[in-house]
């Protein structure tokens, strides 16, 4: 045995998917947060971005159901109102700080309508700085679009390869990689098509991870769920989404991966919670699953908080109560103990 049975990275990965906890994705780039702020009519200034992240991260008891939070470069360097750097502030809440390291999904050459995620150049240097700033893990999002004649094999392979190169660089730098291949919900495709593309994508991703020598024990998978396209006439119900998603994951994700933390991808907050709960209940019925199934939601955790806040300090307590509530609901769903009527007893 040349390697210890439990590395520091595998311990971090397991802590990120601790029972009843999930990840708060708060890594919106400056461009993406602008879209969210527009929805509540506030300007996208550095001060507003800082105020908003301060609100999220100082929510009392955040660490009860949130294991970790993904930050954007600017946020990792900012300080809260009390002068504490955000990574330190999160760590005090018992929340592991992490960092989005890709530089975005860019149009892919010779593949109309498709993107490939960039950010590998200089990545190991950036990772070394992020480690110094307190990050324990990283995230890279690949985007797969379903449409007439797409995804192409070129796109799936290029994105899988980039994810694997990123994951290897993270592990070598001392960061746990969150590997996020998102199959978009946009379009009128059926759930059957989403299932087929999701299975294909995950197969390519794990093939690439293994060939780049990524240690499966030291990573987290962040996939999309298998759902009907947003504009598809037949919208599959909660049970069908749960069954198809678990089936695809069982076929493609090795048991050595400690946890799978789903993105919400534009699902409503309550539906994202219901889906996660249904998968965990199904897993229990099947005698348990090889990995933890939890959440790494952005919009589905933050939307009610953002709506309550509206940019006003008078609404901070209400916004924090909304975040605490969604965190608790998803914490229950992560163990298959959520019930829709709990929503009525909102915080
Ligand atoms: P959503 O849950 O809003 O999809 O965000 C998660 C995320 O981190 C996307 O990269």
Give 258-296 pLDDT, tens digit per residue: 999 999 999 999 999 999 999 999 999 999 999 999 999
Give the per-residue pLDDT at 325.
Answer: 98
Residue 6's pLDDT band (boundaries 50, 70, 90)?
confident
Q: What is the mean pLDDT of the chain?
A: 97
With a 6 Å cutoff on the Cβ, whether 26 touches ligand 1 is: no
Average of pLDDT values for 63-90?
A: 98
Given pLDDT bands bounded at 50, 70 and 90, which one contains residue 346?
Answer: low
At residue 3, the pLDDT reads: 56
Q: What is the pLDDT of residue 4?
A: 55
> And the tokens for 248?
């695809």
**CA gap 323, 300 in Å, rounded:** 10
Structure tokens at 225: 């769920």
Beta-carbon contacts of residue 17 (< 8 Å; ≥ 6 apart): 67, 220, 258, 259, 260, 261, 291, 292, 294
> What predicted TM-score, i.e. pTM, was given to this entire model?
0.97
pLDDT band (50, 70, 90) for residue 84:
very high
| Residue nearest atom 4 in ligand 1 by C-alpha distance | 265
Query: How many Å lie between the centroid of ligand 1 and the Cα of residue 180?
Result: 9
In the set 180, 182, 195, 217, the catalytic residue is 180
Question: Annotated catalytic, 21?
Answer: no
User: What is the percentage of the chain residues whose pLDDT exceeds 90?
Assistant: 96
222 is catalytic: yes
12: which DSSP letter? H
Cα(183)–Cα(195) distance, integer angstroms: 10
| pLDDT, tens digit (0-9, with 9 covering 90-100), for 186-232 | 999 999 999 999 999 999 999 999 999 999 999 999 999 999 999 99
Atom of ligand 1 at shortest range from CA of 300: 2
**Position in ligand 1 atom list of the atom nearest CA 25:** 8
Query: How far is ligand 1, taken at its centre, from the CA of residue 260, in Å?
Result: 14
pLDDT of residue 342: 87
User: How far is the C-alpha of 100 from the C-alpha of 135, rounded, in Å?
Assistant: 10
Q: How many CB atoms lie within 10 A of CB 53?
A: 23
270, containing H or E segment: helix 269-285
Q: Which residues contact 277 (CB under 8 A, 6 or more apart)?
A: 332, 333, 336, 337, 338
Pocket test for ligand 1, best of 220, 264, 270, 304 (most atoms within 8 A of CB): 264
The CA distance from 294 to 24, in Å, is: 11
In degrees and rounded to multiples of 5, residue 112 shows phi and psi of -60, 135
- For residue 301, the ligand 1 atom closest to its alpha carbon is 2
């Amino acid at each position: 045995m040349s390697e210890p049975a439990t590395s520091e990275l595998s311990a971090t990965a397991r802590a990120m998917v601790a029972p009843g906890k999930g990840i708060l994705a708060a890594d919106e780039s400056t461009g993406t947060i602008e879209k969210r702020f527009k929805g509540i009519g506030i300007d996208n200034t550095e001060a507003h971005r800082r105020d908003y992240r301060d609100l999220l991260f100082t929510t009392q008891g955040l660490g009860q159901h949130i294991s970790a939070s993904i930050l954007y470069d600017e946020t990792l360097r900012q300080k809260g109102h009390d002068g504490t750097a955000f990574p330190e502030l999160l760590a005090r809440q018992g929340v592991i700080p992490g960092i989005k390291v890709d530089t975005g999904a860019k149009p892919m050459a010779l593949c109309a309508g498709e993107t490939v995620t960039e950010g590998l150049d200089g990545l190991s240097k950036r990772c070394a700085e992020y480690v110094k700033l307190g990050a324990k893990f990283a995230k890279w999002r690949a985007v797969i679009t379903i449409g007439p004649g797409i995804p192409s094999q070129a796109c799936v392979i290029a994105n899988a390869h980039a994810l694997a190169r990123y994951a290897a660089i993270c592990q070598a730098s001392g960061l746990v990689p969150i590997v996020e291949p998102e199959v978009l919900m946009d379009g009128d495709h059926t759930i059957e098509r989403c299932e087929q593309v999701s299975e294909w994508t995950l197969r390519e991703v794990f093939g690439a991870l293994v060939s780049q020598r990524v240690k499966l024990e030291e990573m987290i998978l962040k996939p999309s769920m298998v759902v009907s396209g947003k504009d598809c006439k037949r919208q599959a119900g909660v049970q069908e989404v749960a069954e198809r998603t678990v089936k695809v994951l069982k076929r493609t994700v090795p048991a050595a991966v400690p946890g799978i933390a789903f993105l919400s991808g534009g699902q409503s907050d309550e539906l994202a919670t219901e889906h996660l709960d249904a998968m965990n209940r199904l897993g229990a019925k099947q005698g348990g699953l090889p990995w933890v199934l939890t959440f790494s939601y952005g919009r589905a955790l933050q939307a009610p908080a953002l709506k309550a806040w509206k940019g006003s300090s008078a609404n901070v307590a209400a916004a924090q109560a909304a975040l605490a509530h969604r965190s608790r609901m998803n914490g229950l769903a992560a163990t298959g103990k959520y019930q829709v009527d709990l929503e009525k007893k909102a915080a």
